[in-house]
Structure 1
Amino acid sequence: MPIVAALLSIAGLAGVAVAAPILVARRVNWATPAVYGASLAFAAVLLLSGLLALLGGSAFQGNVHLPIGLPWIGAHFALDPLGAAFLVIVDFGAVVASFYAIGYGAHEEEPGRVLPFYPAFLAGMNLVVLSADAFGFLVAWEFMSLSSWALVMAHHHDAENRRAGYVYLLMASFGTLMLLLAFGLLAGPDGGYAFASIRAAGHAPWLSGLVLVLMLLGAGSKAGLVPLHVWLPLAHPAAPSHVSALMSGVMTKVAVYGFIRVVFDLAGEPAWWWAVVVLILGAGSAVLGVLHAVLQRDLKRLLAYSTVENVGIVFIGLGLGLAFKTNDMAGAAALAVTAAIFHAFNHSLFKSLLFFGAGNVLTGAGERDIEKLGGLVHRMPETAYLFLGGCLAISALPPLNGFVSEWLILQAILISPDLPQWALRFLIPASGAMLALAAALAAACFVRAFGITFLSRPRSPAAETAREVGRWQIRAMYALLAVCLVAGIFPGPFLDALSPVSQMLVGGAMPKQPLLPHLAIIPISESRSSYSGFLVFFFILMANWAAIRVIHNFASRAVRRAPPWDCGFPDASPATQYTADSFAQPVRRVFGPIAFRAKVSQTMPPPGDLAPARLTLSLRDLIWEFIYEPLEGAVLYAAERLNVLQFLTIRSYLSLVFAALVLLLVLVATWA
């Protein structure tokens, strides 16, 4: 069975993690390709297992119970349509990242800090998806968090990386605590921790609502939902680039899986107000994430903030699914949930592609500050064009895959007038407007990222001496771009593959997508709307071909030579070009005073004074200032006050323990 093969592959990844430090300690030259090659092979088996379970139906799905873990529970594992879909997302990203790392890892200065934890990280993510009881889920979740934390700390000599690891560890611990409380409530006083027992038990509406809040805090913190995103722009740039791709493109989807598993599958029937909470958080994350991304100069931090935006888009789709499911609109709920999961898959593709491009830039130029780059299209042409493809996909431009999933979410939004709740009728169109704003800002963000990094003239010696990277990295990027294009031109088979998932979660499925005519996709019905990625792609090709033929056949044959237009700057110095900050200035002027309390101060010396004029810009992270800094102060204050507990007598300690035991017994008796 596929689930047995999947579990054996996870055991194989654990074995690779154990063998890696031995190979590194013996200074074996082939340690890096061996570890990443073995990780690739086991991830490929897991990917095949997920595909068989997703496409083959119940014959390839199943459950396994192993006598490990808690004695009275054991370990339950299951492979159902939802788990199979996310197993595909996780392991396709793992396969491509491992392939990329075979080349990228050769440049790693301290492989001993990366190689043992990389396969362990892959094993942890896959265990989360396959676990079918609360205990195994939480152990796998914590294992995933700790192994990824070790990868974030790989370059620990950098003080900024140490801070990133510290913040990540705190947020990961907080998230795990919230998940522990959520599963404790679902298991109830009887302690039925198996998902089958939780699913069969009845839950009071107030308890299910509390579980939703806890899951938003627990899974939302790992996914990067605002305001729980603060660790993400610190940790993702700190990790090696192939790990950044996995954390941003794949690990955040494991968090999305955890949210869907509990809220849609285990918590019982939703209430309509659940959708309000999820939509507000999703829309806020989408806009705030891309606003932060537009203003970043660090290429990897820019991509990390963009992940916050795309996770917000996924949660908009999930919020729509909850709204429609509550009102027994199975078809609309299926459309929304399918669009959300499809966007999660699409984001794993183009975000991994972009992080690989950033890794190539870091390897080839030794720099990730886009202000110090420029002109790389001439020195790293393949990376430049592949990165451009990722920029087009993440900007939701047809015919690439990012457009399809966002278009499907907008189609679900257009059904919202049929909902009976006025709050949802108002909030869902507002979320659609926020989604459109986020898409427009994303396009501006990635025009800036590509233009400042790859076009114009080099602005530093690092950019002038940059060189293209090896074939392993380039081929991995080609594979990702090819899948982005295929999923955008032929999205029908991808949507049909997700039908069992939506049927399981909301009791409905999208219409079966026809291969013909015109390879169009139909989200609701032919009378309402359809989209043909193939025709769009065909017309783009034909328009380009026609323009080329017209110019070549009908343009004047006369040769005229004249100075090129210099935009009013005849000096060839890079200092006369647009910078990243100047490119972002219009967006900063519009949104900066509200979102960042932006302030610009200037110092102009009087005539005759030789001191330079200065322009100072200050941007504030309001979420950090108003939530996390006060929280930090409160924790320090409480720690100082509770420090007295270290100096109690034995009798005082025993009295505290007795009082805590009595309180817990009272709570258990009241709950039971």
Structure 2
Amino acid sequence: MVAIVGLWCVAALLGIAGFGIVAGNWSQGSRLTYGATAATSTVALITAVLQLVGGTGVPPSIVLPLGLPWIGAHFRMDALSAFFLVVINLGGAAASLYGVGYGQHEDEPQRVLPFFPAFLAGMNLVILADDAFSFLLSWEFMSLASWALVMAHHHERDNIRAGYVYIVMACFGTLALLLAFGLLAGPEGGYAFASIRVHQLSPLLAGFVLGLALLGAGSKAGLVPLHVWLPLAHPAAPSHVSASMSGVMTKVAVYGFIRIVFDLLGPTAWWWSFPILAIGSGTAVLGVLYALMETDLKRVLAYSTIENIGLIFVGLGLALAFRANSLPAASALALTAALFHAFNHALFKSALFFGAGAVLTATGERQMERLGGLIHRMPTTSVVVLVACVAISALPPLNGFASEWLAFQAILLSPQLPLWGLKLLVPAVGALLALSAALAAACFVRVFGIVFLGRPRSPAAERAAEVDRWSLSAMVILAGLCILAGILPGFVIDAIAPVAQSLVGSRMPEQAGMSWLSIIPVAESRSSYNGLLVFCFIAASASLAAYVIHRLASHALRRAPAWDCGFPQSSPATQYTASSFAQPIRRVFGGYAFQARERVEMPPPGNLGPARFQVDLRDLAWELIYTPITNSVSVAAERLNRLQFLTIRQYLSLVFSALVFLLLVLALWS
């Protein structure tokens, strides 16, 4: 059975984690650890692909004599699990391959090697779990292992703060999921997913579970305003860990939400899609605006993850809206778009974090203002990052465009919805997604232009050299998959079809048999897209233009200095910077989204001091939500501090009162 193979892979990863404890003390230990992790992840990947593509029927659940008494630990690999295991182990194998070379630059490998395979094992266990106890235990194990990786570079003060914020938000998310599963199980305590499916909740309790699932999974995925840990933790971790957290771990959170809301919660209510669509579209726009304001390369990529998570949740919200109104074909289209984008995001975001890690290794810099000109010194890395930037910007013919195009096709089906609220909300959501796509393109034009083009802005950028072949291999593989998934999206859509069939009772039409390998989401008379033809057209027209320019316009290739605007030999510091590139967008949106304030200090006439320009940006989520909560907790802690000085009689009275209260709650609930 495939679930048994998956569990053996988890056991192997845990064994590799144990080996990593001693492997950090000798030179080849890092390569052996990452090599074994890559091999194990590849086996798990192949197993999941075979189950997703060739699996038939409902696989039985495996019960191990672990966990809760008389219940055991249940594990199963259905179509939904198999798809997310593909995402996790593809990203894990690529990160492990990248780590074979990148790990040689770690100052303290013993702080990374044991926890990286354990982190991958935790994510696999979450997906395989088939009962609430195993799910939550694996979820917490995944969170603790990733927290240890965030704290790997613990000597830096910012990383300590990032680890603290991350573990607090992780505990909050686990608590929300614990309460959600408690409501799903009911007073009988049937924690196996099979028991939860047959236990029907009242509409009020189902609404509470939906809210708790949004809080629990949304805090791990990075939905606004639960996103505050993500731009702190992802840059703090080593780059291959950042790729796994941003590209892979956030998909585990998406899986948790889908498993609860689409599978365990029962029939969909008409209003469920409203909060998901609103939060998802707001997250998409705010995430990319945050990314545009940042100058730290890894923080830009972390904020960009927030934007893509918002897009995925918009697709899930649309699927719920169509499902609640008995439109299974449209629901399957929206769900396929969300899952396809989750897969695509794992590819291009991992490639981008690998590229950022290569830049960090070569230059020691993460600030874009101190980079530039790397296309001449790191040509392979620059090509990979360019491919990933085009993909994440949703430009054809790469994979980001294919999944976002499917999402917009689902939005265009919204007139079929009978509710006027959705008929008004969905077009507004579509407009916000279009805005976020345009801003994402501007964001990554900025990233690639500032980091790789122009002239070096620092000696470190001028001395940069290409990284090792292991890191380059991982980046090239992911870039190649971005191209393949973009020009042949029909095969990916068909692979996702069993997931949609199991969750919404329908699937998109089979795409692999379409003429010219086009994809037709609804009907050929409405819309179609052919990534292969677009790719061939772009390649042919670009080649023809290059031939005409270099062969017919001139008989010789001529090189000359760039136009210097009348200022020869100007300093590289006079080039466009990341901040100046974002200035127009900041002035349009910054006043609303960040309360941006610009201050200019001009010296008086005769004063030779420099002029100063300062921009203040405020994170409103911190100021409006987390700061008041922190202050309230501090006040409550001070007042509750007196409980430490009670007498034994008072303590016994408190315990007795708490016991009576819990018994009353249980009696009323049952």
* 2:260 match: 262
* 1:166 match: 164
**TM (normalized to structure 1)?**
0.98
* 2:18 match: 18
1:489 lines up with 2:519 in the alignment:
no
Q: Could you tell me how far apart the structure 2 residues matched to 1:436 and 1:141 are?
A: 34
Q: Alignment partner for residue 154 of structure 2, among 156, 164, 181?
A: 156
Opposite residue 63 of structure 2, the aligned amino acid is: H
Instruction: After TM superposition, list the pairs within 5 Å mapping 1:564-575 onto structure 2.
Output: 564-567=562-565, 569-575=567-573
Q: Alignment partner for residue 182 of structure 1, among 180, 183, 188?
A: 180
Opposite residue 6 of structure 2, the aligned amino acid is: A
Q: Alignment partner for residue 280 of structure 2, among 279, 282, 289?
A: 282
Q: Alignment partner for residue 478 of structure 1, among 476, 479, 484?
A: 476
Instruction: After TM superposition, list the pairs within 5 Å mapping 1:48-447 onto structure 2.
Output: 48-58=46-56, 61-447=59-445
Q: Is the 8 A contact 2:374 2:453 kept in 1?
A: yes
* 1:633 match: 631
Q: Deviations over 1:231-253 (max 9, x none)?
A: 00000000000000000000000
Opposite residue 606 of structure 2, the aligned amino acid is: G
Q: Deviations over 1:370-389 (max 9, x none)?
A: 00111111111111111111
Opposite residue 524 of structure 2, the aligned amino acid is: E
Q: Deviations over 1:309-328 (max 9, x none)?
A: 00000000000000000001
Q: Is the 8 A contact 1:77 1:131 kept in 2?
A: yes
Q: Could you tell me how far apart the structure 2 residues matched to 1:514 and 1:74 are?
A: 42
Q: Alignment partner for residue 519 of structure 2, among 501, 518, 521?
A: 521
Instruction: After TM superposition, list the pairs within 5 Å mapping 1:513-592 onto structure 2.
Output: 513-557=511-555, 564-567=562-565, 569-592=567-590
Q: Could you tell me how far apart the structure 2 residues matched to 1:34 and 1:557 are?
A: 54
Q: Which runs of 5+ in 1 are unaligned?
A: none
Q: Could you tell me how far apart the structure 2 residues matched to 1:199 and 1:306 are?
A: 35
Q: Is the 8 A contact 1:602 1:616 kept in 2?
A: yes
Quickly say closer, same or farther: Cα 1:560–1:205, change in 2 above 3 A.
Answer: closer
- SS of the residue 1:51 aligns to: helix
- SS of the residue 1:79 aligns to: coil
The CA deviation at 1:556 is 4.2
The CA deviation at 1:22 is 2.4
Q: Could you tell me how far apart the structure 1 residues matched to 2:503 and 2:556 are?
A: 66
- SS of the residue 2:63 aligns to: strand
- SS of the residue 1:611 aligns to: coil
1:7 lines up with 2:14 in the alignment:
no
Q: Is the 8 A contact 1:3 1:62 kept in 2?
A: no
Opposite residue 70 of structure 1, the aligned amino acid is: L
The CA deviation at 1:610 is 2.9
Quickly say closer, same or farther: Cα 1:563–1:230, change in 2 above 3 A.
Answer: closer
Q: Could you tell me how far apart the structure 1 residues matched to 2:153 and 2:46 are?
A: 34
Q: Could you tell me how far apart the structure 2 residues matched to 1:258 and 1:246 are?
A: 17
Q: Is the 8 A contact 1:489 1:532 kept in 2?
A: yes
Quickly say closer, same or farther: Cα 1:378–1:553, change in 2 above 3 A.
Answer: closer
**TM (normalized to structure 2)?**
0.98
- SS of the residue 2:56 aligns to: helix
The CA deviation at 1:52 is 1.2
Q: Is the 8 A contact 2:23 2:113 kept in 1?
A: no
Q: Could you tell me how far apart the structure 1 residues matched to 2:80 and 2:368 are?
A: 39
Q: Which moved more, 1:659-668 or 1:374-383?
A: 374-383
Q: Is the 8 A contact 1:52 1:60 kept in 2?
A: no
The CA deviation at 1:537 is 0.3
Q: Structure 1 runs of 4+ off > 6 angstroms?
A: 558-562
Q: Which moved more, 1:119-128 or 1:542-551?
A: 542-551
Q: Could you tell me how far apart the structure 1 residues matched to 2:119 and 2:345 are?
A: 20
The CA deviation at 1:611 is 2.9
Q: Could you tell me how far apart the structure 2 residues matched to 1:559 and 1:244 are?
A: 43
1:44 lines up with 2:42 in the alignment:
yes
Q: Could you tell me how far apart the structure 2 residues matched to 1:262 and 1:557 are?
A: 66
Q: Is the 8 A contact 1:522 1:530 kept in 2?
A: yes
Q: Could you tell me how far apart the structure 2 residues matched to 1:187 and 1:562 are?
A: 73
Q: Is the 8 A contact 1:223 1:253 kept in 2?
A: yes
Q: Could you tell me how far apart the structure 2 residues matched to 1:404 and 1:105 are?
A: 34
Q: Which moved more, 1:515-524 or 1:360-369?
A: 515-524
Q: Is the 8 A contact 2:23 2:110 kept in 1?
A: no
Quickly say closer, same or farther: Cα 1:40–1:171, change in 2 above 3 A.
Answer: same
Quickly say closer, same or farther: Cα 1:544–1:610, change in 2 above 3 A.
Answer: closer
Q: Deviations over 1:114-152 (max 9, x none)?
A: 000011000000000000000000000000000000000
Q: Is the 8 A contact 1:500 1:509 kept in 2?
A: yes
Q: Deviations over 1:398-427 (max 9, x none)?
A: 110000000000000000011111111111
**RMSD value over aligned CA atoms?**
1.3
Q: Is the 8 A contact 1:89 1:250 kept in 2?
A: yes
Q: Deviations over 1:267-317 (max 9, x none)?
A: 111112110100011001100000000111110000000000000000000
Q: Is the 8 A contact 1:364 1:469 kept in 2?
A: yes
Opposite residue 612 of structure 2, the aligned amino acid is: R
The CA deviation at 1:75 is 0.3
- SS of the residue 1:272 aligns to: coil
Q: Which runs of 5+ in 2 are unaligned?
A: none
Q: Could you tell me how far apart the structure 1 residues matched to 2:320 and 2:557 are?
A: 64
Q: Deviations over 1:202-231 (max 9, x none)?
A: 111111111000000000000000000000
Q: Deviations over 1:45-94 (max 9, x none)?
A: 11111111101122694421111111121000011000000010000000
The CA deviation at 1:566 is 2.3
The CA deviation at 1:545 is 2.0
The CA deviation at 1:469 is 0.4
* 1:652 match: 650
Q: Is the 8 A contact 2:23 2:33 kept in 1?
A: no
Number of corresponding residues: 670
Q: Deviations over 1:494-545 (max 9, x none)?
A: 1011111001111110011144421100111111100000000010011112
Opposite residue 653 of structure 1, the aligned amino acid is: Y
- SS of the residue 1:616 aligns to: strand
The CA deviation at 1:559 is 8.5
The CA deviation at 1:558 is 7.9
Q: Is the 8 A contact 2:184 2:201 kept in 1?
A: yes
Q: Could you tell me how far apart the structure 2 residues matched to 1:363 and 1:157 are?
A: 19
Q: Is the 8 A contact 1:114 1:151 kept in 2?
A: yes
Q: Alignment partner for residue 449 of structure 2, among 428, 447, 451?
A: 451
Quickly say closer, same or farther: Cα 1:336–1:233, change in 2 above 3 A.
Answer: same
- SS of the residue 1:273 aligns to: coil
- SS of the residue 2:241 aligns to: helix
Q: Alignment partner for residue 606 of structure 2, among 599, 608, 615?
A: 608
Quickly say closer, same or farther: Cα 1:53–1:556, change in 2 above 3 A.
Answer: closer
Q: Is the 8 A contact 1:53 1:61 kept in 2?
A: no
The CA deviation at 1:201 is 1.2
